Amino acid sequence: MYRFLGYIAIFLFKVFARFQVIGKENIPKGAGFVYACTHAGWLDVVALALSIFPVRVHYMAKKELFQNPIAAKFITSLNAFPVDRENPAPSSIKIPVQLVKEGKVVGIFPSGTRKSEDVPLKRGAITIASLAKAPIVPAYYEGPKTLKELFKGKKAYIVIGKPIRLEREGAKRVDAEHYTRLLSETFLQLKEELKNYRTTK
């Protein structure tokens, strides 16, 4: 199901949005990582997955989406797993950490909202990457937020930054505040990089 829908989505994004991925060489080879992206609308979830397709991206999704058995089966087939946002259980972290340790990719939208990309970033991406001892690959999305914008031909871009590798000093924990701030700054840098890229094309 994932690959089938992926090919359909690629066709739509290529034809209508002239989808471009910039910086794909920054994707780590043969290892799991946390794929952190800006979040403005539900289509950025699709675009992030397409940016490294056919490599699969696993997503955390709110548990309410799994209440309907048919919907739950469909969402699960797309490599999503449920998370209780109101009362997050330990599994909320354990599942993505295990996936990354197994060499898989976990997609995270650190802002935790689709209203604005400038809201304070949550620390989930940092925590998962720290526990999995894996890098965070930052990505910036710009493009259609809805199907209406997609079919109107609004261009879509994903800019992939260099992996952020978390460092520890001795036995101390990773400085979550520092890396949260760094991730936020990196998103702004990728936004500027895209701006420069578009002016030269």
For the chain, how many structural domains are there in total? 1
Mean pLDDT, residues 117-132 taken together: 76
Identify the CATH number of the domain in which residue 104 sits: 3.40.1130.10
* Interval 137-190: pLDDT, tens: 999 999 999 999 999 999 999 999 999 999 865 556 778 888 999 999 999 999
pTM here? 0.87
Which pLDDT does position 42 carry in this prediction? 81
Q: Which domain holds residue 13?
A: 2-199
82 pLDDT band (50/70/90 cuts)?
Answer: confident
Q: How far are the Cα atoms of 2, 6, 21, 33, 107 from residue 79, in angstroms, in the given order?
A: 8, 12, 22, 15, 10
Task: Enumerate residues 6+ apart whose C-beta is below 8 A from 129.
Answer: 33, 34, 100, 135, 136, 164, 166
Rg (CA), the chain: 17
Which pLDDT does position 138 carry in this prediction? 97
